[in-house]
Amino acid sequence: MRFHHRLRLLLCLLGAIDFAICGRLGGAANAYTLSTLHTFCSLENCADGYNPIPDLLLDKSGNLYGTTYNGGTIGNGVVFELVRDNGNNTWSFHVIHTFCSKHNCTDGGSPQSGLIIDKDGNLYGTTIGGWNGGVAFELSPPAAGKKWNYKLLHSFCPNGNIYCRQGDGSPAQLTYAGAAAGLPYDGVSALYGVSGGGAYNEGLIFKLAPKPGTSKWVEKVLYNFCPLSSCPDGSSPHQMLIMDAKGSLYGTTVQGGANNSGVAFVLTPNSRGTKWTETTLYSFCALPNCADGGVPWGSPVMDATGSLYGTASTGGATGNGVVYKIQPNSANSRESVMYDFCSQPNCTDGADPRSTLVLNASGTLYGVTLGGGLWGEGNVFELNGSLQTLYDFCSLPNCTDGQNPYAGVIMDGSGNLFGTTIGGGWNNQIGSVFELSP
């Protein structure tokens, strides 16, 4: 890990690195100050989990919630909370559910997506593992002295069908009407998501809603990807959808499209919501050498005008990914590159962006890169016309500040950023939760 540091010092001495970069190697401060809130695998046998892949969730009281893909007492991941004591400015970490704690893992396992919260503080999420093929679940806050209450909402692929026409056990984060505006879920309306499987085994979009008068939830498939040869509509939808004010769903796929490098799409309902039509807004890698970017892992975000912003992990001028903007206009949508990563010597500006961006009220974008940065272990950046690095990971000896942020950051009302890393930290180098303050 410190190899990157030593290598750059050597290159400085040889005159092979820009002078401005060499000046930072002596320990110049990052633009933001990092505080490590929790390092994973702090408990025996990693009972607190590790590999926090999804984005965090911030509730109205300033507490954080998240999931880990691995760890927990059974090894199939956990749901955790970090509760803030504003009086002492300290955080306390608690595991609120350990997956696979029920017989045959009927409560699911290996959550790979983040959580949503309703107006009453209930949490909703999905797992990619479980008895059949992943689940959707609800966790309700405890009464005094009690544990959080787990409720199974839906088991995907319930009949074990080889193509899992109801999803193959890889459902992404759920969304709902009002999520893009920052409103809490109402607890009764429909939830939407993507998963693998489907009629053509290339992924699908589903709706999950409570059945009136019962405690059951019912799933309905809204669209199956790849009905045509070569998947011009895209394949392998991977991340959360976003819903606009008219009820249309926007998202991306990491494969398929005209150039097999993924697409941005919109799914539009008819007036009664009984039929949905998919439109490919943009097929990535449309320009020579993928100068427009390719493989958009993260979800798009939408501004007040309806423009979409996101990251593509490959392509661009250097092949190390881009930040893009799409102006939706059905099949005539236009895409433009807002930033090419690895534009600076030795990729000190970052490389391989895979997360969803944060868009604040003034139009500034915030995100992370998995690699690159001053130490080669990823960074947090701000983009508003030009790119500024807010923090370079592995700035501390032995990467105790974390390395390789995979999930995106979230922002509170004071402009503080919260996120996770999948490497680094104090314990076994397997991830941390951090706060970045201006």
- What would the pLDDT profile of 359-383 be if each residue is shown by its tens digit? 999 999 999 999 999 999 999 999 9
Residue ranges in the chain modelled with pLDDT below 70: 1-29, 145, 158-169
Q: Centre a 10 Å sphere on the Cβ of residue 214 and count the other Cβ atoms it contains.
A: 8
Sign for the CA dihedral angle at 412, 362, 326, 205 comes to: positive
Q: Centre a 10 Å sphere on the Cβ of residue 117 and count the other Cβ atoms it contains.
A: 18
Q: In which domain, by residue range, is 368 found?
A: 1-44+341-438
Spatial neighbors of 257 by CB under 8 A, at least 6 apart, are 231, 232, 233, 234, 263, 280, 283, 284, 285
With beta carbons less than 8 A apart as the criterion, state whether 243 and 306 touch.
no
With beta carbons less than 8 A apart as the criterion, state whether 263 and 282 touch.
yes
With beta carbons less than 8 A apart as the criterion, state whether 30 and 392 touch.
yes
pLDDT of amino acid 267? 98
pLDDT of amino acid 82? 97
22 located within any domain:
yes
270 located within any domain:
no
* Amino acid present at 285: C
31 located within any domain:
yes
Nearest-angstrom CA–CA distance, 407 and 362: 23
Cα 268 to its chain centre, rounded Å, is 23
Secondary structure of residue 168 in the 3-state scheme? coil
Spatial neighbors of 399 by CB under 8 A, at least 6 apart, are 1, 377, 393, 423, 424, 425, 429
Please give the C-alpha separations between residue 86 and each of 279, 416, 418, 438, in angstroms, as whole numbers: 47, 14, 16, 18
Q: Which tokens in the block code for residue 187?
A: 């607890």
pLDDT of amino acid 10? 44
Nearest-angstrom CA–CA distance, 160 and 162: 6
301 located within any domain:
no
With beta carbons less than 8 A apart as the criterion, state whether 379 and 368 touch.
yes
DSSP character at residue 48: T
pLDDT of amino acid 1? 35
- The backbone torsions φ and ψ at residue 435, rounded to the nearest 5 degrees and listed phi first, read -125, 135
Sign for the CA dihedral angle at 131, 236, 275, 116 comes to: positive
With beta carbons less than 8 A apart as the criterion, state whether 425 and 36 touch.
yes
314 located within any domain:
no
pLDDT of amino acid 130? 79
396 located within any domain:
yes
* Amino acid present at 363: G
Chain position carrying tokens 């607890």: 187
Please give the C-alpha separations between residue 157 and each of 69, 112, 189, 214, 360, in angstroms, as whole numbers: 20, 17, 23, 21, 38
353 located within any domain:
yes
Chain position carrying tokens 């539009």: 268
Q: Which tokens in the block code for residue 379?
A: 């960074």
With beta carbons less than 8 A apart as the criterion, state whether 107 and 99 touch.
yes
Q: Centre a 10 Å sphere on the Cβ of residue 26 and count the other Cβ atoms it contains.
A: 8
In degrees, rounded to 5, the angle at the alpha carbon of residue 342 between the alpha carbons of residues 336 and 347 is 160
**How many domains is the chain partitioned into structurally?**
1
Nearest-angstrom CA–CA distance, 66 and 256: 31
pLDDT of amino acid 110? 93
DSSP character at residue 45: G
Nearest-angstrom CA–CA distance, 134 and 100: 11
pLDDT of amino acid 313? 97
Nearest-angstrom CA–CA distance, 81 and 62: 11
219 located within any domain:
no
Nearest-angstrom CA–CA distance, 382 and 388: 5
pLDDT of amino acid 27? 44
